[in-house]
Amino acid sequence: MDGVTILQVIERSVRQPEWAEDLIALVGIIVVIAFIFSIIMILLGEVKPFIISFIIVIICVGILVVIIRNTEEVTDITYRVLVDSTVDMNEFFSKYELIRTEGLIYVVKPIN
């Protein structure tokens, strides 16, 4: 865009939230316990508890897959820019989201 000078491109990798690792560990523990319980039940000849614990294992594995697939690392790109007086600010802010200002310098990121 004419009249906009890019001073710095800031790339930042955004990891999964802290609670995601705890949730993955918790669901993993539930899977292991339910799997052990289902093995014990099948050895004792109990079919109904085996089916219930097997269903719990399947549901938990599905939850694990969804959590792991949705917590991938994402790169967040922001720009430090100078904007001169010839730039239409309405047009500028329709293309970029303002993160913060540092005096005359704008820190922005593109609107997707």
Tell me the per-residue pLDDT of 22-64, one tens digit each, with 9 for 90 and over: 777 888 888 888 888 878 878 888 778 778 877 888 888 888 7
Q: What is the rounded CA–CA span in Å between residue 40 and residue 67?
A: 29
Q: How far is CA 5 from the centre of its chain?
A: 31
Q: Give the amino acid at 106.
A: Y
Q: Do 23 and 63 reside in the same domain of the chain?
A: yes
Q: Do 98 and 82 reside in the same domain of the chain?
A: yes
Helix (H, G, I), strand (E, B) or coil at 86: coil
Helices 18-44 & 47-69 angle (0-180, nearest 10): 160
Q: Over 90: is that where the pLDDT of 82 sits?
A: yes
Q: Do 85 and 64 reside in the same domain of the chain?
A: no
Residue pLDDT, tens place only, 65-74: 777 777 667 7
Domain that holds residue 35: 18-69
Cα-Cα-Cα-Cα dihedral of 33, 39, 43, 47, to 10°? 90
* Tokens of residue 68, six digits: 């792991």
